[in-house]
Structure 1
Amino acid sequence: MRIIVIVVIAGIIAAAAFMVIKNNRTPEHLGAENGSLAPLPSTPNAVSSQADTEHRGYIEPFTLQNGTESLENIKAIIRADEQAEIVSADDRYVHAVYASNVFKFKDDVEFYVNESENSIDVRSAARVGYSDMDVNRKRIEAIREAYQSKRE
């Protein structure tokens, strides 16, 4: 019985260590390549405006308002959020990381200016876990609301 308890505890510690390492490592597949953000994972913990509209993770892109000013508005919204940090940005792309309050689970949020479609594509995905209980969708919709109010 004692051996079983030790094995179970060791397994829990190993799983927790794996999650901590994965949570603190920036995924390699992020960024916009040839106008495309990374595809969604198979888990229901991400949303993207570049997903197929029939996909459960599809979310509407933002409307491009004033070229580079649009992205500056999004960056200002992100900077105002204590849970967020912009890790890379240029005149067409923003990558921010959001960390949850309690366990510091990280989500990668990306915005890409798609001038040909007059839109800003968005992708938001959890680094660890299976389900995010719609946190990424709610976050993007809150950013969208703030972004639209800056335009009014």
Structure 2
Amino acid sequence: MYRFFTVTLITLLTAACTSAPQPPVAGESLPACGSFPNCVNSENGQGSASIAPIAATPTQWQALKDWLANRPDWSVETVQPNFLQAVATTPTMGYKDDVQLRYDASAQQVHVRSSSRLGIGDMGANRARVEQLRNHVSAQPR
């Protein structure tokens, strides 16, 4: 019984491992979340994966990009005028989570996708991360 449980657990954890998502082609939305509850997405999220985009002026968008570039627990992988892709490292266990931000200048909002690379669930870490970003942006001058 113990062996079955161990093999099942290892299989589930391995199956739930993902790699970094590809940046969207210009003009396209962020990639949808997968079938596991370890992702939130303001463009393609459904049900528990859905989250509201972040309201931001162009000045706030630039301030957000600058802030993330200087965070010790974030590694910015791709930065473009209206897109940023980064890896956030969780403080306790050092898990790597992927974050994509796409700025829609006409709507003055940041669409966000935050997903865990490891595990079936995220214990609310991705949603909390987006809310941290939202709080930071709202504290910036418009």
TM-score (norm 1): 0.75
Is 2:50 the partner of 1:58? yes
Give 1:91's match in structure 2, choosing from 75, 81, 88: 81
Aligned-partner Cα distance in 2 for 1:150–1:70 = 6
Deviation at 1:136, TM superposition (A): 0.6
Aligned-partner Cα distance in 1 for 2:77–2:52 = 24
Alignment length, in residue pairs?
140
Deviation at 1:58, TM superposition (A): 0.9
Aligned-partner Cα distance in 2 for 1:147–1:118 = 12
Deviations 1:29-73 (A, max 9, x none): 421223211101111111110125x5211111111312xx33321
Cross-structure match for 2:126: 136
Is 2:40 the partner of 1:47? yes
Q: Give the match's secondary structure for 1:74.
A: helix
Deviation at 1:80, TM superposition (A): 4.0
TM-score (norm 2): 0.80
* Structure 2 gap segments, 5+ residues each: none
Q: Give the match's secondary structure for 1:138.
A: helix
Give the share of equivalent positions with the same residue, in percent.
22
Letter in 2 for 1:79: A
Is the CA contact 1:32–1:112 (under 8 Å) kept in the aligned structure 2?
no
Aligned-partner Cα distance in 2 for 1:99–1:61 = 22
Aligned-partner Cα distance in 2 for 1:108–1:148 = 22
Is 2:111 the partner of 1:121? yes
Is the CA contact 2:56–2:137 (under 8 Å) kept in the aligned structure 1?
no
Higher Rg: 1
- Runs of 4 or more above 6 Å deviation: none
- Greater relative contact order: 1 or 2 (C-alpha under 8 angstroms, separation 6 or more)? 2
Q: Give the match's secondary structure for 2:48.
A: coil
Deviation at 1:132, TM superposition (A): 0.6
